[in-house]
């Protein structure tokens, strides 16, 4: 808002939201700026009012571990404000929060680049990121800790596309004062990445659990999809969920050959990569590969590495490819809608109904909490940020039309949602085949190349951005819901031309590998 006073937490100016914490209640992550140094940071704000004694202990443990685990491939903790007053935008009131000031990972989440393209990385890139992950884990375990919650959401990229491990909320000391591994018993982690001994409720040591999860991450990077499909319904016994996963059962019964035969129908893996993952996917943790074993592995130590500029070019190429595919698909759907409308003109009710399903709907709609969506909305200006976000859609319409279309699409998805008209924000809880997912969709006026936007006008269609950020559930379930929401905006959406130009420039500048680097074929 023009002329508004900046919101401050100590020396940090609070800017737009960039995410939600999932390990603590009522946790938001905001982009911020250190006003003394000008450095951009991430501000993790935890509402003190909703903290339990256990939550406070977990926070203290997270801070302790992040302080002890400074490393180039671990998101760094810059500062902690244990008691801060977080003001509302209008300055009318504030609430008490704990503020963790973190390094800002502007490259986004690593697995956005996989799930959007539905394909794994070339082996050289997967190996490079796996080497960075193992480097971080070696540091964690050398310091006597275990992460215990490795998963796609906890692997992010900095501005130069280096991997960073984040969210140390589940980390714990894994050795005693004599340096002997401690037997742990707390069941934590995320289904699909949890080692068999933890799922079985047995006591365990930290390193084998993290190695198993790292193996799942490696498989996902190579294949573009997870190795296991463990999906536990509410109140369902763990044993029942595991019994329903055919792939997990093959590993449990030491039938690795059938496991790979099934997966290689959709993906390809080199023999050396399979050999390494076979050493990791062992049910008995005493026979599972250690971090030291991985460091000596043939596939892990293959000479071919990827120069940083070539790595950046490959990831930018993927993003540009995604944008082109979306543009082509939208054009195809536009032509189909036009054909359906033309045919409906003389074909009667059935064709008319089909055309109506895809045509823009002009009537006013109500959100699932009741109340009509206003037709006089003016969206806030999109923040000027360098943070990468793949779950956004560029549209051209009035703010009211965009919010209306979001509501209509969510209704067809049978999702629960609430519209906050003042902020042009929609909070959503939806069900997907991968489970329940919560997210927030924000409608904002797009900035031009000069960083400014046209004058706000509720009645004139203009460029808006729909930004969708998840607040709960895994990344697969989130993108399933996001894709359905994006489909509902297809006929008012536009290619993100400005971003494509920047991506093309990066690709062109890094097209040739640096000396000693391996090139990547497009």
Q: Which residues are catalytic?
A: 149
DSSP string, 419-456: EEGGGTEEEEEEEETTEEEEEEEEEEEPP-TTS--PPP
Helical (H) or strand (E) element with 325? helix 308-344
What DSSP character marks residue 468?
E
Neighbours of 228 (CB within 10 A): 21
**Count of helix runs (H) and strand runs (E) in the chain:** 15, 16
**Are the beta carbons of 214 and 280 closer than 8 angstroms?**
yes
Query: For residue 42, is it left (φ>0), alpha (ψ between -120 and 50) or beta?
Result: beta
Beta bridge partners of 337: none
Q: How far is the C-alpha of 21 from the C-alpha of 43, rounded, in Å?
A: 11
Which residue reads 């960039």 in tokens? 18
**Length of the chain as a residue count:** 522
Helical (H) or strand (E) element with 470? strand 462-472
Neighbours of 154 (CB within 10 A): 24
**Are the beta carbons of 58 and 24 closer than 8 angstroms?**
yes
**Are the beta carbons of 214 and 220 closer than 8 angstroms?**
no
Residues 6+ apart with CB under 8 A from 125: 221, 306, 311, 314, 520
Residue 191 to residues 10, 46, 104, 154, 216, Cα–Cα distance (Å): 38, 25, 27, 14, 11
Residues 6+ apart with CB under 8 A from 307: 513, 514, 516, 517, 518
What tokens does 151 get?
């998963």
Work out whether strand 27-34 and strand 40-47 pair parallel, antiparallel, or are unpaired: antiparallel
What tokens does 487 get?
């489909």
**Are the beta carbons of 272 and 127 closer than 8 angstroms?**
no
Sign of CA dihedral 319, 116, 135, 515: negative
């Amino acid at each position: 808002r023009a002329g508004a006073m900046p919101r401050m937490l100590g020396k940090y100016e609070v800017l737009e939201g960039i995410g939600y914490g999932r390990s603590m209640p009522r946790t938001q992550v905001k982009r911020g700026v250190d006003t003394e140094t000008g450095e951009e940071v991430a501000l993790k704000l935890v509402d003190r009012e909703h903290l339990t004694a256990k939550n406070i202990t977990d926070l203290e443990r997270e801070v302790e571990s992040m302080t002890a685990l400074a490393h180039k491939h671990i998101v760094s903790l810059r500062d902690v404000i244990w008691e801060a007053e977080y003001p509302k935008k209008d300055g009318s009131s504030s609430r008490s929060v704990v503020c963790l000031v973190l390094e800002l990972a502007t490259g986004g989440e690593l697995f956005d680049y996989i799930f959007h393209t539905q394909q794994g990385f070339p082996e050289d890139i997967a190996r490079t990121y796996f080497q960075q992950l193992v480097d971080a884990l070696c540091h964690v375990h050398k310091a006597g800790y275990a992460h215990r919650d490795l998963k796609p959401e906890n692997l992010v990229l900095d501005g130069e596309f280096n991997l960073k491990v984040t969210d140390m909320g589940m980390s714990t000391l894994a050795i005693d004062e004599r340096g002997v591994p401690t037997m742990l018993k707390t069941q934590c982690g995320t289904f699909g990445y949890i080692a068999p001994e933890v799922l079985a409720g047995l006591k365990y040591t930290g390193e084998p659990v993290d190695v198993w999860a790292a193996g799942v991450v490696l498989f996902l990077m190579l294949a573009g999809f997870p190795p296991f499909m463990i999906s536990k319904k509410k109140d369902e016994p763990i044993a029942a969920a595991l019994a329903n996963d055919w792939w997990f059962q093959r590993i449990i019964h030491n039938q690795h050959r059938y496991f790979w035969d099934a997966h290689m129908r959709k993906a390809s893996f080199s023999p050396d990569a399979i050999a390494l993952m076979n050493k990791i996917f062992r049910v008995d943790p005493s026979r599972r590969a250690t971090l030291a074993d991985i460091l000596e592995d043939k596939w892990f130590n293959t000479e071919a590495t990827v120069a940083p500029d070539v790595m950046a070019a490959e990831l930018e190429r993927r993003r540009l490819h995604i944008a082109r595919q979306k543009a082509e698909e939208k054009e195809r759907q536009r032509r189909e809608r036009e054909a359906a409308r033309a045919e409906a003109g003389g074909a009667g009710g059935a064709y008319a109904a089909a055309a109506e399903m895809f045509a823009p709907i002009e009537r006013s709609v109500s959100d699932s909490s009741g109340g009509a969506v206003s037709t006089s909305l003016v969206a806030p200006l999109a923040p000027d940020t360098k943070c990468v976000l793949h779950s956004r859609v560029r549209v051209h319409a009035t703010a009211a039309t965009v919010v209306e279309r979001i509501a209509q699409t969510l209704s067809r998805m049978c999702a629960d949602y609430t519209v906050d008209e003042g902020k042009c924000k929609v909070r959503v809880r939806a069900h997907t085949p991968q489970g329940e997912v919560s997210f927030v969709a924000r409608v904002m006026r797009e900035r031009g190349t000069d960083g400014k936007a046209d004058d706000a006008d509720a009645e004139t269609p203009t460029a808006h951005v729909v930004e969708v950020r998840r607040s709960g559930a895994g990344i697969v379930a989130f993108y399933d819901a996001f894709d359905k929401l994006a489909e509902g905006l297809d006929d008012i959406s536009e290619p993100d031309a400005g971003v494509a130009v920047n991506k093309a420039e990066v690709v062109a500048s890094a097209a040739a590998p640096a000396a000693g680097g391996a090139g990547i074929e497009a």
